Structure 1
């Protein structure tokens, strides 16, 4: 099968290995694994995760939950403090199976009463990322728990400050302290945490929800969460121009497939698989610029290059389908079924 570039290419063996390794880590420490499917948005991948031992899935939005519910997944946690509008309540009540949501305010805790009786809630606490979530010392934490009553399941957090070189272990410690101190204050409950960079250091929670580990990306490599050999998702692109004098090549993959996400601690907008020093120095909408290392032969026009993007989640949300390749070079096409389900 010929692939028109640019295109997202997944190495199925690496994908499966990543999934099995995370499942094994969780099982070895008696932790339930509830992977975040916002990374891949693909039911086939979620099924591989469940088959490997995941007890359910985590979604980012009601829309994602609707897609995965329709695909047969019946144990879903929407791990964000939702705004429970009338329409949101209607959609949540229509989801079959086991559904849990996140809350971090008294207003939304009170609104949970509008949901069907079997919908449960976890309270989000802030373990250091400083996005949403309540401080574990805030008095409102206990008030929210009281308002939720029997719907209360436990507490959750996202240790997003794990992203960055060497940050994973400290973020895992912050996460553990925040979650355990919160449930102690509340008289018990589930502790749910986990990001891909911190998951390897997590050994004492009830549940973890990593997402990017299935693919890994330039952020994960730079943060030390994985090695380049664990990257399973790449953007396949073609060299469309080259300048021998300054060793510059231009690829047909720009920001409309690689995204523009670039943390301050990462050099470039992605790198070439197998050539970590060949980094994208500039992006336009449909082109990427790479100044090729002097000690490596300059690629020819027409040569195909595999690029490791900075942030896998953003890339997946920019394509309708992905190509999946196994060791026998056989290709499959999987639909990104939950693409664009942002509400």
Structure 2
């Protein structure tokens, strides 16, 4: 791989030559067999697509990417966005081109995708316990193209030691601090210190930082939720200070990393005092926000720091489009999009606009609600006295949780702007985003 690039421009641009066909449900049947490049050259519009459909908003994506890049630069922190949100090398490129340190992934398969597209700096926000994954990382990671991973138990240290026994490979790892009731991570500072000592004693491991994930400890931005997050982050800071005092870091450059898309402001507030550019090891603070580039009309709209502060909030960069396929009871419409098409785990889709055609004029759909979703259908209730809904009508849906939206689509059209309530024109497809889940 070319380590002078943050990601291989040749590999990403090569997606333009991919052929589109029946495997890509967002692509019209009339364009079966065309290439990505030819599809865009034809300047297709929203009206030429079909439902069910997921689309992205080009302006929102750019604005969101710019917003967090600027914020990180202002606060002197690194960004390694969690690539599992989109699994799209094209969107990773947008983040890396704006100064992101690298890309964070969640498992071995995702690491392989990222390295195939030439992502130089990688972080696995997880522990390596599969021998195949351990051996692969040991083989492909280099000082110029590092792969960081996390360790949260003595058992993981033992697995890596046994797998690499007799090898001169050394893996760069961070000790992960967890919390009782949380997800992964050593349960407490004392347990994390014991693990760090075992890492320091291993011939195949080098301790380069502290990691954690505060998002599993709270799901709200109320006082109780924020107190839990901040208390946990304070423990991460304490762990770092004890590691420094005991001299357990094995590198002159140390990373402290936390921060999803919900509480990254608290991460910086609590942990930025750890940043060190003077004597001793260099210490960088890294956040891993991933959903921010897409944002949403649900969970992240309510919990994002920028939404809570009211200071230039992120913009919803994705929408669902569904058509009414059945309207046989007053006040109930069945739509042609369901669990296989749209996210539902962090809130059901939100009906926003209605129109008679895809790409045509739309108006607000007030009082409508998605009450449940099946595999291929959504149940939408509405006030039959004030709203008229007919078979064939198109509903634009606000969505919640981009992480479980992208995995349902291999190709996602990007539109030149969001359809708003006053628009009477169509929208051009300006890009196609490929995903690799």
Shorter-chain TM band: 0.7 to 0.9
Cα gap change, 1:9 to 1:55, in 2 (>3 Å):
same
What is the TM-score normalised by the length of structure 1?
0.86
Residue 279 of structure 1 is matched in structure 2 by 369
The superposition leaves residues 133-164 of structure 1 with CA deviations (integer Å, 9 ceiling, x where unpaired) of 113333x3222212222610111111123422
The question of whether the paired residues in 2 share the 8 Å contact of 1:100 and 1:121 is answered with yes
Residue 142 of structure 1 is matched in structure 2 by 193
Residue 249 of structure 1 is matched in structure 2 by 333
Residue 197 of structure 1 is matched in structure 2 by 262
**How far apart are residue 51 of structure 1 and its match?**
0.8
- Distance (whole Å) between structure 1 residues aligned to residue 397 and residue 208 of structure 2: 42
Query: Equivalent residues in 2 for 1:12-91 (5 A)?
Result: 12-83=58-129, 85-91=130-136
Structure number with greater Rg is: 2
**How far apart are residue 308 of structure 1 and its match?**
2.6
- Distance (whole Å) between structure 2 residues aligned to residue 169 and residue 304 of structure 1: 40
Q: 5+ unaligned residues in a row in structure 2: which ranges?
A: 1-43, 273-284, 308-312, 354-364, 418-426
The superposition leaves residues 99-139 of structure 1 with CA deviations (integer Å, 9 ceiling, x where unpaired) of 0111101121233342863531011111576111113333x
Cα gap change, 1:291 to 1:155, in 2 (>3 Å):
same
What is the total number of aligned residue pairs between the two structures?
330
The question of whether the paired residues in 2 share the 8 Å contact of 1:128 and 1:159 is answered with no
Query: Equivalent residues in 2 for 1:182-331 (5 A)?
Result: 182-187=239-244, 189-203=254-268, 204-205=271-272, 206-217=285-296, 218-223=298-303, 225=305, 230-242=315-327, 245=330, 247-262=331-346, 266=347, 269-273=348-352, 278-292=368-382, 297-327=387-417, 329-331=428-430
What RMSD over aligned residues (CA atoms) do the two structures have, in Å?
2.6
**How far apart are residue 31 of structure 1 and its match?**
0.8
The question of whether the paired residues in 2 share the 8 Å contact of 1:11 and 1:324 is answered with yes
The superposition leaves residues 13-48 of structure 1 with CA deviations (integer Å, 9 ceiling, x where unpaired) of 101111111112211111111100110000000000
Residue 163 of structure 1 is matched in structure 2 by 219
- Distance (whole Å) between structure 2 residues aligned to residue 295 and residue 18 of structure 1: 39
- Distance (whole Å) between structure 1 residues aligned to residue 64 and residue 154 of structure 2: 39
The question of whether the paired residues in 2 share the 8 Å contact of 1:66 and 1:95 is answered with no
Moved more, 97-106 or 321-330: 321-330
1:109 equivalent among 144, 157, 174 = 157
- Distance (whole Å) between structure 2 residues aligned to residue 116 and residue 234 of structure 1: 50
**How far apart are residue 292 of structure 1 and its match?**
2.5
Cα gap change, 1:224 to 1:208, in 2 (>3 Å):
closer
- Distance (whole Å) between structure 1 residues aligned to residue 349 and residue 305 of structure 2: 16
What is the TM-score normalised by the length of structure 2?
0.69
**How far apart are residue 330 of structure 1 and its match?**
3.0
The question of whether the paired residues in 1 share the 8 Å contact of 2:80 and 2:287 is answered with yes
**How far apart are residue 93 of structure 1 and its match?**
2.8
1:92 equivalent among 137, 144, 149 = 137
- Distance (whole Å) between structure 2 residues aligned to residue 252 and residue 117 of structure 1: 52
Q: 5+ unaligned residues in a row in structure 1: which ranges?
A: none
- Distance (whole Å) between structure 2 residues aligned to residue 108 and residue 135 of structure 1: 15
The question of whether the paired residues in 2 share the 8 Å contact of 1:127 and 1:158 is answered with no
